[in-house]
């Protein structure tokens, strides 16, 4: 069975500081990996995805993530936080074949202070 662990239910940064949200996954087969963002009372929006091509993946809004197989990690980073980045972030894993349900972590709430 696949699973995702997100370390830190809350992360606080100052505007302009580096953002680092941690995600470790468990999968018996090579997975697809995703980061989604959720703003209050809204659905999930895809930030970026790893699908077995380049290990450094660039997404929207200046976010990127690096797939490290040896560490089973897929951490999300952004060089400089903006107030509008404050939201809930979810890491997810899926199979590469079959019906490919997404298995999500418990989420990390990013707080950005002025």
Single residue of 19, 57, 94, 112 touching other proteins by CB under 8 A: 94
For other proteins, the closer of residues 62 and 107 by Cβ is 107
Closest C-alpha among 101, 80, 102 to residue 34: 102
22 in contact with other proteins (CB under 8 A): no
Residue in this structure with the two tokens 């953002």, named with its chain if needed:
19
42 in contact with other proteins (CB under 8 A): yes
**Residue 100 CB contacts under 8 Å (≥ 6 apart), including other chains:** 32, 94
Residue 114 and residue 98: Cα distance in Å, rounded?
45
The residues that bridge with 14 in the sheet, in sequence order, are 113
Choices 14-22, 61-69, 72-80, 91-99; region in contact with other proteins by CB under 8 A: 91-99
Using CB under 8 A as the criterion, which residues of the chain lie in contact with other proteins when the complex forms? 4, 9, 32, 34, 36, 41-46, 49, 51, 90, 92, 94, 96, 99-107
């Amino acid at each position: 069975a696949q699973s995702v662990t997100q370390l830190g239910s809350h992360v606080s940064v100052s505007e302009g500081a580096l953002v680092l949200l941690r995600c470790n996954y468990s999968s018996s087969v090579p997975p697809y990996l995703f980061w989604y963002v959720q703003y209050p009372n809204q659905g999930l929006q895809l930030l970026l995805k790893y699908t077995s091509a380049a290990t450094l993946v660039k997404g929207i809004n200046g976010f990127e993530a690096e797939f490290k197989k040896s560490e089973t990690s897929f951490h999300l980073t952004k060089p400089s936080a903006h107030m509008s980045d404050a939201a809930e972030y979810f890491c997810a894993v899926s199979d590469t074949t079959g019906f490919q349900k997404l298995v999500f972590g418990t989420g990390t709430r990013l707080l950005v202070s002025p």
